[in-house]
Structure 1
Amino acid sequence: MYATKRLGAGDLAEMKELLQMFGDAFEDSESYHVHVPDDAYLRERLADGGFFAVIASDNGAIIGGLAAYELKKFEQRRSEVYIYDLAVDAGHRRKGVATALIRSLGESAREQGAYIMFVQADSGEDDAPARALYAKLASEHIVAHHYDIEP
């Protein structure tokens, strides 16, 4: 049986393992393996209450995880939480791990005053299972367009 945990400042080794898992799951070594930030930066992120790194582990091995960010609103005293990355090891998919990760994040988000969490999903066929999961958990489905704009 697996357990979920929000990582904190003392969980550097697990954060590095999560980065490795993300790189493997997303087939993106460049982002997650090659350009890994130094330990001080990772500790800073883990100590930041507006950053969420949640893992699912089974017998000490990370089998899934997510990274999310709190967006503090200006129009009301509340926040939203954006799920940036979510991945589950191929051998553990379709077993409730992603749902458990999102629910665990929800607990932490509520404790910090978030009123909603949101996630984007790609439209490709490979992402159909992720979209089905998000649709199952969603209170609302909004179709939007995403544009990357260089600073």
Structure 2
Amino acid sequence: MGSEDGAPKDGSGPGFAVRRLGPGDIPSMRALNALFGRAFAEPDTYGAAPPDDAYLADRLAKAHVAVLVAERDGAVLGGLVAYELDKFERARREIYLYDLAVEAEHRRRGIATALIRHLQAHAAHRGAWVVFVQADPGDGPALALYDRLGTREEVLHFDLPVGARPLP
């Protein structure tokens, strides 16, 4: 049985429940950002200049942004952020799983898998044809998880600066 966003109604696992955040879930979003800062060892990126509540509520209200959390007793144990990308070559969309993390003390309990399964159900409901994610070559646990759940493609990732720069 699915929920209104297409994800399984029972998005739970042993000792936790998975749900999609909405515009009224600012405290949970802030907790997830703090978790990302710890998990990725980037506390400044995720906490030094936090956006205001209105900004977060606006982003959480967007249909093309999916923020999922695994919680127990109101505490965020893990979560993910994904973005829909509408394509031009065909009338379809892809979903980019941008951030995924689980608190260190709650890892290896099926939380990341449950979050991804919930995202896959959401993607199907939204008419997406694929969910894709990037992982760093040295991140063994992430690579093992994604190898188990999908098909690996070897690609290179480039960060391009923003703004006009003179050509060489």
Count of aligned pairs: 148
Q: Where do 5+ consecutive residues of structure 2 fail to align?
A: 1-14, 163-168
Q: Which residue of 2 aligns with 1:116?
A: 130
Q: Which residue of 2 aligns with 1:76?
A: 90
Aligned mate of 2:55, from 18, 21, 41: 41
Q: Deviations over 1:47-69 (max 9, x none)?
A: 11111110001122110000110
Q: Which residue of 2 aligns with 1:30?
A: 44
Q: Which residue of 2 aligns with 1:134?
A: 146
Q: Where do 5+ consecutive residues of structure 1 fail to align?
A: none
CA distance in 2, matches of 1:146, 1:35: 26
Q: Which residue of 2 aligns with 1:66?
A: 80
Larger radius of gyration: 2
Are residue 95 (structure 1) and residue 102 (structure 2) matched?
A: no
Instruction: Give the Å deviation of 1:38.
Output: 1.2
Are residue 15 (structure 1) and residue 29 (structure 2) matched?
A: yes
Q: Deviations over 1:59-100 (max 9, x none)?
A: 221100001100011111111000110000111111110000
Q: Which residue of 2 aligns with 1:146?
A: 157
Percent sequence identity over aligned pairs:
49
The CA RMSD measured in Å over matched residues stands at 0.8
Moved over 4 A (4+): none
Q: Which has the higher helix share?
A: 1
* SS in structure 2 at match of 1:5: strand
Structure 2 length-normalised TM: 0.86
Instruction: Give the Å deviation of 1:10.
Output: 1.4
CA distance in 1, matches of 2:26, 2:141: 30
Instruction: Give the Å deviation of 1:40.
Output: 1.2
Structure 1 length-normalised TM: 0.95
